[in-house]
Amino acid sequence: MICTPGRSAESKNIEQEIPMELEPYVGEPDVARLIAQIRGEPVDRVPHLEALVDDQHVEKILGRYAGNTLAIGGDPAKGAEGATGRPMHGKDYVEFNQAIGQDILIVECFWTPFRRRKPDGTLVAITDRSVKTRADWEEVVLPGDEDIADRLQYIREYKEAIEGTRQGIVLGGACIFQTLYEFTVGMTDFMMMCYEQRDFVEEMLEVSAEYFERLVAAAVAESIDLFLFGDDYAWKNGLFIPPKPIFRTLTAE
């Protein structure tokens, strides 16, 4: 029994621990359901897609530790600093989806992999918001073929894992705007750059856009089912950058 803080054990407001039993979802996950919903076609039920289910929930459902639905040993959803480890193992992901009725497996590619070379030659992700000038930018190691190959290996692993099921594979990410203001440059400096150094901002965005264009094309060649765009350039009250005067200049051009 658990006593509510500040109340005596004799009070009527005593909570009891009630074991929580989790029963598997009855039915078959099916990526065709999700695709049909996106196209506005009739579906048998609401499709189930959740980008991140935390480690503890996954462990409770599977009965063993398997990481979260984005990674083992990290949490990319919390930022580039958390993008460590590897994605959840394909077999674990398929079993998890079957248990909760989720239709897809997600391979995460949230953040543009900008890196810096340390004095000892090792590469580290830039997460300290230290790129403030073009000179800083010129020292950045830009994403390349090895970064694309890294994501493709997990798409192939997931393709093998879903054989014999109707589950699908989603590539999710391409946060080209948030990568810059959250980790590479910093919020305040980046927002000022949008007004004062727009050419520089567009150059950095273009690098990310070209990288993700190549990654998505390679993923499509591997027969992914969907690509899920994700970025953060607005909040509940509107865009981070007011449309004027930037958008007015763009339309005038």
Q: What is the pLDDT of residues 127-184, one digit of tens each?
A: 999 999 999 999 999 999 999 999 999 999 999 999 999 999 999 999 999 999 999 9
Closest CA to 24 of 103, 104, 101: 101
Q: Quick one: average pLDDT of 237-246?
A: 76
For the chain, the structural domain boundaries read 25-252
How far, in Å, CA of 192 to CA of 73, rounded? 35
The pTM assigned to this predicted structure is 0.84
Among 22-36, 51-65, 109-123, 221-235, name the one with the lowest average pLDDT.
22-36
Closest CA to 106 of 96, 116, 114, 115: 96
Q: Quick one: average pLDDT of 184-213?
A: 94
How far, in Å, CA of 253 to CA of 249, rounded? 6
CATH of 25-252, one of 3.20.20.210, 3.40.50.1110, 3.10.180.10, 1.10.10.60: 3.20.20.210
76 Cβ partners below 8 Å, 6+ apart?
70, 82, 83, 108, 110, 111
